[in-house]
Amino acid sequence: MRKANLGVAIFLFVLGAIVMYDAVRLGFRWDPGFGPGAGYLPFYLSLGVLICTAIFIVKQVIQLSKIGIVGDKPLIQEGGLKPILWVLLPSTAMVILISIIGLHFAAFVFLLFYMRVVGKIGWLECALVSILMPIGLYVVFDRLFLIPLPDGMLGNYIKLPF
Amino acid sequence: MAENFHNLMMGISVSMQPYNFMIAMIGLVLGVIVGVLPGLGGANGVAILIPLTVAMQPVSGIILLASIYWGALYGGSITSILFNIPGEPWSVATTFDGYPMAKKGHAGKALVLSFFSHFVGAVLGVIMLSFFAPVIANFALRFGPAEIFSVMVLTFSAFVGLSGKDPLKTCVAIFLGFILSAVGMDIVTGQLRLTFGSIDLMGGFNFIVAVIGLFGLGEIFLTVEEGLKLDSTEGGKVTFKDMAWGVKELLIEWKALLLGCVIGCWMGLKPGGATPASFMAYGFAKQGHRKSEEFGFGASAGIIAPEAAAHGAGTSAALPMITLGIPGSPTMAVIMGGLMIFGLLPGPMLFVEHPDFVWGFIGSCWIGNFIGLLVVLAFAPLFAAILKVRFAIIMPIIIYVCAIGAYAVNNRVIDIYYMIGFGVVGYLFKKLDYPLAPLVLALVLGDMAESALRQALLISGGSPIVLIKPPIALPIMIAGLVIFFWPTISGIIKKRRLKVGPG
């Protein structure tokens, strides 16, 4: 986990540098006629991030050079990465699908895929849940509470008949 | 005092109106379900349902949101005790002793103890809320921008100095939260900040989306990584005999109960939230107990202390939220976000401008927690049965509902992408022990803190001395500094004592 710690800290350091760059562009100094510029607070925030992560990185590097990574616990425990990816990738795919065929239909595909392929659940159960759930949520959100959920680009062609 | 009592009665009558009462019941049942399901926590449970409350009266809306929180506080323990699966982060400490007790065949007793302790913690928190909130709000009416900013400094210092996490990581989390809140249009100058020419970033990051990602998806990733092991125990039905036993046990272990309540209220005010409160209470109860060797094998005090602390923290977290506009726990932060959507700005003026709303909310805290107790006592086995449904069915449904919640905040599809991004960040931060609560709080309070700071500086003409102006800002700032460096200070004190002691 020490490597991951270092990696995340370096990433945050870079992020802090980017924020500082933008804060300097916006102007972080005191403008006599106007007051603090738009970059005033972001500048000091990014300064804080840079200082904290820099100290942290130095500490981590010293630690790593002293004891190395022997005996370190991995970030993701053994056999843990696969189930995580099996959640992460299909849900990302669902989000991409949302902008094409709309939220409820994308969810139908996602539910069916996950339950059937990953969960290995019987067809009947899969079909029931993945059809009834979107219909139920459609009725509650779109119909009862009048919160329109995204239809997607093909919303005019693919939609629920009620 | 008499006036407060009168107001409280009015508030309770508001929350007893049939419609509000029904809303509270729905909220409680949903809350317990949210509490039972791992991967769906109080904070994101509330966040998902915020869009539904927009169409309601503000009082009914906040009653729904708060009831979900109360229900989730009660519900998390059910699965901790019966299945050894904490439904919520704040019920992790309950598994240490609740599950062993249930395994011995005393599931009913363990549940009773947990629910009663919750209730006592809640009552103490609500009493504080009812009688101290008006006083604090009245005092806070004198606050100007500099004072508000100093209170925020105190708040975030508490996270750094008292949370026991790596102070560097806590600081980074706080700064990141503020930076995320700064993305988009600057409220003072109208300039675009940190958008780098991207139109999508112009709208900024909504903290509700962040909460759903960080707490919802992040939690799901953690759960699937570890795999869900169901260690079911028999029973879970609560009998009257169990209840009588529970009351007796609470009286015997009154010290643990009191300890839990006090730690809970402190952690709710400070702010810290229910999760650290429960762990802290468990640790202290174990340390000071005469039979500390029984802890971990089904000790009553090991259930009582963390449960009372969790609920005490949950309810008292409403106090700083409603009086100062600084939520005491992540879930309260989300509820506060709901208030802002209703167009109500939490803070001392709320008591002056919308007394009916404030007292309706406080009244519903009384009613909600009481009915919540009855609901979980009566239906605990029913709620536990939800977990018998396979996780491969529940989990995609949770993600689906999270996506709806993230979208409906601003009606933007990009928010669902952000949600997944925040999910990955939440997973990484949880694993690497970066605290999420201060990040979310900074994201919520970002605009308020920044405008307070800039107003204060504008008033003073750029001199930062205004931020430590007596009589109010100065002591708060000093307290903030002391708390910030508390680990160092307490270390020095201990060393001194050691030197003096044996010499």
CA B297 → CA B47, B99, B112, B218, B245, distances in Å? 36, 9, 17, 31, 19
- Calpha distance B410→B394 (Å, rounded): 26
CA atoms within 13 A on the CB side of B468: 7
Residues of chain A above pLDDT 90, percent: 35
Among A53, A77, A99, select the one facing B172 at the smallest CB separation. Answer: A53
Among B168, B225, B392, select the one facing A52 at the smallest CB separation. Answer: B168
Contacts of A26 in chain B (CB under 8 A): 186, 191, 193
A41 and B450 within 8 Å at the Cβ level: the answer is yes
**Smallest Cα distance from A139 to chain B, Å:** 13
> Nearest to residue B334, comparing CAs of B50, B123, B36?
B50
pLDDT at A90 over 90: yes
Walking along chain B (503 residues) 10 residues at a time, the average pLDDT comes out as: 82 90 93 86 87 85 92 89 83 87 86 92 91 87 86 86 84 93 83 82 86 87 78 68 87 90 87 82 84 84 91 91 87 88 84 88 92 90 81 88 88 91 92 88 86 85 78 85 85 80 49
**Smallest Cα distance from A6 to chain B, Å:** 10
Phi-psi region of B238 (alpha: psi -120 to 50; beta: other; left: phi over 0): beta
**Smallest Cα distance from B68 to chain A, Å:** 18
Among B179, B189, B396, select the one facing A115 at the smallest CB separation. Answer: B396
Position A33 scores a pLDDT of: 67
- Calpha distance B406→B49 (Å, rounded): 10
A52 and B408 within 8 Å at the Cβ level: the answer is no
Position B42 scores a pLDDT of: 85
**Smallest Cα distance from B226 to chain A, Å:** 7
Position B417 scores a pLDDT of: 94
Among A41, A45, A110, select the one facing B396 at the smallest CB separation. Answer: A110
Residue B301 · residue B254 · CB < 8 Å: no
Q: Which long-range contacts (CB under 8 A, 24 or more apart) does A4-7 make?
A: A4/A75, A4/B428, A4/B431, A4/B432, A5/A60, A5/B432, A6/A57, A6/A60, A6/A61, A6/A64
Among A46, A119, A150, select the one facing B413 at the smallest CB separation. Answer: A150
**Smallest Cα distance from A145 to chain B, Å:** 6
Q: Which residue type does B138 have?
A: N
B413 and A53 within 8 Å at the Cβ level: the answer is no
> Nearest to residue B384, comparing CAs of B83, B104, B168?
B83
Contacts of B423 in chain A (CB under 8 A): 88
Cα angle vertex B325, ends B320, B329, to 5°?
A: 55
Rounded to an integer, the average pLDDT of A75-100 is: 88
Position B120 scores a pLDDT of: 93
Among B51, B179, B416, select the one facing A46 at the smallest CB separation. Answer: B179
Rounded to an integer, the average pLDDT of A38-43 is: 86
Contacts of A110 in chain B (CB under 8 A): 396, 399-400
Among A58-67, A109-118, B13-22, B313-322, the least confident range:
A58-67
Contacts of B453 in chain A (CB under 8 A): 41
Position B503 scores a pLDDT of: 42
A146 and B55 within 8 Å at the Cβ level: the answer is yes
> Nearest to residue B273, comparing CAs of B313, B333, B309?
B313
Q: Which residue is closest to A20 within chain B, CA to CA?
A: B194
Among A20-34, A148-162, B163-177, B409-423, the least confident range:
A148-162
B171 and A118 within 8 Å at the Cβ level: the answer is no
Q: Which residue has the higher pLDDT, B186 or A43?
A: A43
What is the residue extent of each domain of chain B?
2-227+245-500
B400 and A111 within 8 Å at the Cβ level: the answer is yes
Tokens of B37: 């399901």
A30 and B224 within 8 Å at the Cβ level: the answer is no
Cα angle vertex B211, ends A5, B37, to 5°?
A: 100
